[in-house]
Structure 1
């Protein structure tokens, strides 16, 4: 089977459809969410080729296939993350500036900044006394690195 488009996301589906449908899952690393072409295997051993026509990233919960009885859903493995919780706008600005200088991608959930674990960032957070915790957590989207040069 070759998947060329995402059918929907489970967040958009009627709960009664979700409850009555058999679900297979494709487990991906968050870094694989940006790949438009890849070969994957479901948790039931079915091989699937993904070749997305649309230039888009996969997300946790994306439905790759669905019929009346079955669906195949993208599930994401947890990432090793630093969950940064600044106490003030000054702390947020300071750490955002420092991470921006390193070109590190970040995601935001409520009052938390999420970055992939890096011992140098952890050392920096300790030096700046900015509250954080290290945690394995699933992210919905890939951490996308954006190329940039200082000309």
Structure 2
């Protein structure tokens, strides 16, 4: 079986043989059998789990590159009245241990009707959106967490 054991980050490569489109949970892996969008079957076998982001590439042991594309997901975009209000909303989201992507003026979370209702009850402006989801890493995640701002919205 073909093996992919090296990740080339955005800007470290120029041409890929194929693409693989993955949601956030499938982009955070260490070892997994995968099939590219064009049908290349390979084993992702990394030394540690990494979050792959849109624009990264997986180097296969036969020399080909498979470009990673972030699959748009159904999300909620949360906005507050001002920065202080948005911080209070972020605290509520964190208190529920929800994965969240922090933008300059909004927070993205996976769609959840119960959480949406709670946030709207706290005065948040909540809209549905579809975008790549790159939530913040945990406190114990390695310091090399790759989180580019340009993947924040589509």
| TM bucket normalised to smaller | 0.7 to 0.9
Q: Which runs of 4+ in 1 moved over 4 A?
A: 142-147
2:59 to 65, 72, 76: 65
Unaligned runs of 5+ in 2: 141-154
Equivalent residues of 1:80, 1:136 under 8 A apart: yes
Q: What TM-score does the superposition give when structure 1 sets the normalisation length?
A: 0.78
Match for residue 113 of structure 1? Answer: 107
The structure showing larger relative contact order (alpha-carbon pairs under 8 Å, at least 6 residues apart) is 1
CA RMSD of aligned residues (A): 2.6
1:133 to 122, 127, 134: 127
When residues 46 and 9 of structure 1 are mapped into structure 2, their CA distance, relative to the original with a 3 A threshold, is same
Q: Does 1:44 align with 2:38?
A: yes
Pairs within 5 Å for 1:6-85: 6=7, 8-10=8-10, 12-13=11-12, 18=14, 21-65=15-59, 71-85=65-79
Question: SS at 1:31's partner residue?
Answer: coil
Unaligned runs of 5+ in 1: none
Q: What TM-score does the superposition give when structure 2 sets the normalisation length?
A: 0.76
Larger strand proportion of the pair: 2
Shift of 1:66: 7.2
The number of residue pairs the alignment matches comes to 138
